[in-house]
């Protein structure tokens, strides 16, 4: 007969060695802390539960993603392998915002391949890589509109970036988006012309694909 999940304080009924092992597995993560889970973005640790699975006790982080209306249970021993991390420090957020002001870099490859690379960056959990996607897919009013697939990737990257900035800076997501758009507006002037085959125009750097 399956036993009901057991919750207990970290040091209740366990030896100091076991407590130390659990602390190591948790890597400094605590209840109520906001974290970044690469494939889902910013979430909050609601609780640390202990469950018994096949006779073995398993400690789990219960992570809530409010915007996605989703709760995830992640074994504390697996957080390193899944890439879960703490929120970016303010200097790294500033670096991401500076990245938005740079020149868009577009590889001269098929869209399907570039789309895969953008998606990998979005799901990497790397705030600077996500900012690169926002920068590269952003279109000003003077440029042709994004395609449907470009728009989807742009909005996914913008959502991930704005959520983390809003939590780090303790502002609303709307304010974070305004800050992102202000940084994008400070980038090189983006005219209506597409990148020339010869190399780069004033707005976009076209990268040759490595042989």
What are the chain's domains? 16-86 (2.40.10.170), 90-207 (1.20.58.1290)
Half-sphere exposure of 132 (CA within 13 A, CB side): 18
| Residue 86: both structure tokens together | 């703490």
**CA atoms of 103 and 207, how far apart (whole Å):** 12
Evaluate whether 63 touches 45 at the Cβ level (below 8 Å): yes
- Using DSSP's 3-state secondary structure scheme, residue 147 falls into coil
Who wins on pLDDT, 3 or 157?
Answer: 157
pLDDT of residue 19: 53
In percent, the amount of the chain with pLDDT more than 90 equals 65
Range of weakest confidence among 48-57, 70-79, 189-198:
189-198
State the pairing for strand pair 204-207/104-107: parallel
pLDDT of residue 23: 64
**CA atoms of 141 and 191, how far apart (whole Å):** 9
The predicted model gives 191-199 an average pLDDT of 42
Residue 2 has pLDDT above 60, yes or no: no
- Confidence bin at 27 (pLDDT 50/70/90): confident
Residue 118 has pLDDT above 60, yes or no: yes
Cα 59 to chain center, whole Å?
24
| Residue 45: both structure tokens together | 């640790």
């Amino acid at each position: 007969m399956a036993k009901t999940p057991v919750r207990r304080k970290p040091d209740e009924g366990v030896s100091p060695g076991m407590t130390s092992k659990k602390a190591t597995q948790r890597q400094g993560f605590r209840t109520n802390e906001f974290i970044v889970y690469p494939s889902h973005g910013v979430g909050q640790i609601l609780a640390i539960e202990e469950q018994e699975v096949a006779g073995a006790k398993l400690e789990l982080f219960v992570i809530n993603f409010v915007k996605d209306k989703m709760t995830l249970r992640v074994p504390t021993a697996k957080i390193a392998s899944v890439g879960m991390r703490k929120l970016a420090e303010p200097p790294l957020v500033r670096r991401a915002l500076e990245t938005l002001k740079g020149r868009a870099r577009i590889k001269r490859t098929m869209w399907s391949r570039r789309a895969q690379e953008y998606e990998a960056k979005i799901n990497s959990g790397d705030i600077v890589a996500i900012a690169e996607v926002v920068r590269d897919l952003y279109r000003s009013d003077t440029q042709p509109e994004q395609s449907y697939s470009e728009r989807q990737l742009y909005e996914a990257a913008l959502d991930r970036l704005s959520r983390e900035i809003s939590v780090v800076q303790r502002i609303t997501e709307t304010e974070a988006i305004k800050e992102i758009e202000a940084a994008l507006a400070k980038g090189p002037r983006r005219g209506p012309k597409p990148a020339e085959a010869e190399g780069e125009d004033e707005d976009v750097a076209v990268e040759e694909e490595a042989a």
